[in-house]
Amino acid sequence: MKCYKAKWILTSAGKILEDSAIVVDEGKIIDIIPNSQVNYDEKYIKDYGNSVITAGFIDLLTQYQYTDILDAVPPDFKSKFKEFFKILSLKYTFAGVRQDNYSRKWAGILSRYFVLDRAHKINSFKHGVTESIKSGTTCIAQVSKEFKYFEVINKLPIKNYLFFEVFADSKNNSKKTFKTLRTKVEDLIFHKGENTHIGIMLNSISGVHRKLWALFSKYCRKHNMLVMTRFAESQDEMEWLEHGFSDIDLLHKFMGMRKISPYEKELTPVQYLDNLKVLSKNVLAVNACYDSAELKELAETGAKFIYQPLYSEEICNNRLDFKTVMQYFPQNFGLSTQSFVKGRSFSMLELVKNLNTGLDIEELIKYITIYPAQILRLENSTGSIEKGKDADFNVFKLSEGEDYKDILNNSSPYAVYSRGKKLVKEGSLRFSL
């Protein structure tokens, strides 16, 4: 048993506690008591003094496999040769298309990623995970279509959701993709650890044939699985919905897919998926960088929302304002730090600090703790400092004269705990992958 004392505790579950302590036993919070009532042996007490304890942070969409794509160098002649043809294919496919075009940007990301060998990809993934944990994140929702990351993510000392990403360009490919992934997922469910959860990522409205939408929607409803999808995040997709074609077709061609056409033109994104009976409370919609008025329709379907301010601005050339998202999804959305900028930050706290939300610190912290925990249906074990929950928490040291409101002066915590195990101290990892 261990007792952690602090000047302030932001519980994300009620009032802010002052001069209190968390009592932890076997990875669980068994009590929260005033510091004055702490009477344990000194060897079981960790007094953090003038500090703030928060619940561990939750990042609702990560793609850590791309962490090092701007730095990694192809290791051998074969990879360099492959890189040359990827760049040549990119220039040929997108000839005449502007550099800031959404589809071209994603083709560039994929071309840099595809030339890396397995070891580089795994190391890139591990780098992203460790940087995120050092920033105070104790739960992630990782998106990938590659099964090789399961072995790594299944051994993580933090909670994680692995959303397997799928594409399909025809009815037949939809059936094949569904059968393959269903078999694989059902096998992995028997091999996953206690920290790991599995969901499905249907890439996007324009990247998934209607047959695959139908198959996975039915399957996920039957098994109560979460579904994630990129939701009209670019002008390319909006044009595709309206006209039946756009530059998104070039991205599909670059990826080796045939042209996909909408089953009906001139529908809004909500109408398109609602007609397929896709949208429900089990759906996590990502981005939605389009007319904010339609967010109301999306919210009424029961779908949850993932806000990606950095990615939206960098890749989608547009982003919704935080206050707009909050207007339609109050207490029903979370955030993602995803970014492709060199030297990017993985800090959830830094992300919300720069959003100019207008919220007080107590409510702001909830958008990176308890609210995303509820979205991932993990609120019974994480997301807040409460008796009976796992001891997933961060410790932020304060300077003299500071109080809990000054937590935003930090981008990363002094210490990070997951299930009572100290993972980070003063920026240094205390575990290995």
Phi-psi region of 143 (alpha: psi -120 to 50; beta: other; left: phi over 0): beta
User: Residue 358 domain-assigned?
Assistant: no
- Do both 209 and 329 map to the same domain? yes
**Which pLDDT value is given to residue 71?**
82
Residue at which a domain ends, from 290, 324, 346: 346
- Do both 149 and 201 map to the same domain? yes
d(CA 123, CA 129): 10
Residues 346 and 411: beta-carbon distance below 8 Å: no
User: Residue 38 domain-assigned?
Assistant: yes
- Do both 71 and 33 map to the same domain? no
Chain centroid to CA 169: 26
- Do both 139 and 206 map to the same domain? yes
Residues 298 and 246: beta-carbon distance below 8 Å: no
Mean pLDDT, residues 9-33 = 97
- Do both 101 and 156 map to the same domain? yes
pLDDT band per the 50, 70, 90 thresholds, residue 426: very high
- Do both 52 and 86 map to the same domain? no
318-336, pLDDT tens digit by residue? 889 999 999 999 999 999 9
Tokens for 75, please give them.
């290791």
Q: Shortest CA distance to 310 belongs to which of 287, 334, 293?
A: 287
SS3 390: strand
Q: Which of 59-68, 76-85, 284-293 has the highest mean pLDDT?
A: 59-68
143 strand-pairing partners: 163
- Do both 395 and 255 map to the same domain? no
37-64, pLDDT tens digit by residue? 999 888 899 999 999 999 999 999 999 9
Residue at which a domain ends, from 346, 361, 391: 346
User: Residue 377 domain-assigned?
Assistant: no
**Which pLDDT value is given to residue 74?**
58
- Do both 52 and 79 map to the same domain? no
- Helix axis angle for 171-189 and 210-222, nearest 10°, is 30
**Which pLDDT value is given to residue 29?**
98
Who's near 187: CB < 8 A, 6+ residues apart?
none
Residue at which a domain ends, from 294, 325, 346: 346
- Quote the mean pLDDT of the chain: 94
DSSP 62-128: E-GGGTTTTT----SHHHHHHHHHHHHHHHHHTTTS-TT-HHHHHHHHHHHHHTS-HHHHHHHHHHH
- Radius of gyration in angstroms for the set of CA atoms belonging to the chain, rounded to a whole number: 22
User: Residue 355 domain-assigned?
Assistant: no
User: Residue 162 domain-assigned?
Assistant: yes
Who's near 42: CB < 8 A, 6+ residues apart?
none
Residues 352 and 364: beta-carbon distance below 8 Å: yes
179-224, pLDDT tens digit by residue? 999 999 999 999 999 999 999 999 999 999 999 999 999 999 999 9
Domain count, the chain: 2
- Do both 98 and 210 map to the same domain? yes
Supply the CATH number for residue 174's domain. 3.20.20.140
- Do both 23 and 129 map to the same domain? no
User: Residue 359 domain-assigned?
Assistant: no
Which structural domain, as residue segments, surrounds residue 214? 58-346
User: Residue 356 domain-assigned?
Assistant: no
User: Residue 7 domain-assigned?
Assistant: yes
- Do both 133 and 48 map to the same domain? no
Residues 150 and 126: beta-carbon distance below 8 Å: no
Q: Which is more confident, 116 or 54?
A: 54
- Do both 28 and 150 map to the same domain? no
